[in-house]
A and B are shown apart, each in its own frame.
Chain A
Amino acid sequence: AQTVTQSQPEMSVQEAETVTLSCTYDTSENNYYLFWYKQPPSRQMILVIRQEAYKQQNATENRFSVNFQKAAKSFSLKISDSQLGDTAMYFCAARASGTYKYIFGTGTRLKVLA
């Protein structure tokens, strides 16, 4: 069975600084997909970034990038130049190829300080 673990319940970062959120996963599948979602106080879940496990290159979306270490089963999210609007819960999720189930971690609450 797949599991996703986020070991940092809460984090804070100063505005304009860089922060890294950790995520590890466990799967026996060869092909799978990883996602980071953001849930601001408004509660709507928004996709931040995704990564295909078969791609070695780390995904990047503007200020957001991932450090995907397949052998270590690690999928951390780096937020550069943090902004107040980045304050939110961040969830890591995994989906095995050919399945419909997404497995979510318990989330990391990030607070960006002015």
Chain B
Amino acid sequence: DGGITQSPKYLFRKEGQNVTLSCEQNLNHDAMYWYRQDPGQGLRLIYYSQIVNDFQKGDIAEGYSVSREKKESFPLTVTSAQKNPTAFYLCASSIQGESNQPQHFGDGTRLSIL
């Protein structure tokens, strides 16, 4: 079955450490997204990518970085510059150019600080 796979499900970060969250999709979608979810704040867009080797900052990109070397993969790195990284992170994808198409989501990664 096609879908989006996020790993790991739970992740712990030490102070000053960079960590990378994985997101892989086999839906052949061009666009991929990273969201951060905090209680009471809904989903906030971190980065998105419309095509391989291209990505744009979302609303809260500071302290995060991404790459899009393959269509299927869109990893998110939470850097040490992100001072409050504890949150639930969701990866999503969608079909390019079809605005009525919904996003498909992974199961999420919960990141906590040690």
A105 to B106, CA, bound (A): 19
Q: A45-B90, A100-B48, A100-B50 are in contact. Are A106 and B41 (CB under 8 A)?
A: yes
Contact between B48 and A101 (Cβ–Cβ < 8 Å)? yes
Closest residue of B by beta carbon distance from A32 = B99
Could you mark each residue 1-35 of chain B with 1 if its beta carbon is under 8 Å from any beta carbon of chain A, else 0?
00000000000000000000000000000010101
Per the CB 8 Å criterion, the residue count for chain B at the interface is: 23
| Nearest CB on A from B4, distance (A) | 10
The 8 Å CB contact of B42, one of A52, A96, A97, A104, is A104
Residues on B with C-beta less than 8 A from A105 are 42
- Measured as residues with beta carbon below 8 angstroms from the partner, the interface class of chain A is 20 to 34
Could you mark each residue 1-39 of chain A with 1 if its beta carbon is under 8 Å from any beta carbon of chain B, else 0?
000001001000000000000000000000111010100
Closest residue of B by beta carbon distance from A51 = B100
Question: What are 22 sample pairs from A and B whose C-beta atoms fall under 8 A apart?
Answer: A31-B99, A32-B99, A35-B102, A37-B102, A42-B107, A43-B88, A44-B106, A44-B107, A44-B108, A45-B90, A45-B103, A46-B105, A50-B100, A50-B102, A52-B100, A91-B42, A97-B99, A100-B31, A101-B58, A102-B94, A104-B43, A106-B41
Interface flag for B45 (CB, 8 Å):
yes
| Interface, chain B (partner A; CB < 8 A) | 31, 33, 35, 40-43, 45, 48, 50, 58, 88, 90, 92, 94, 99-100, 102-103, 105-108
Residues on A with C-beta less than 8 A from B48 are 100-101
A44 to B53, CA, bound (A): 27
Contact between A106 and B42 (Cβ–Cβ < 8 Å)? yes
| Nearest CB on A from B104, distance (A) | 8
A50 to B94, CA, bound (A): 14
Interface flag for A111 (CB, 8 Å):
no
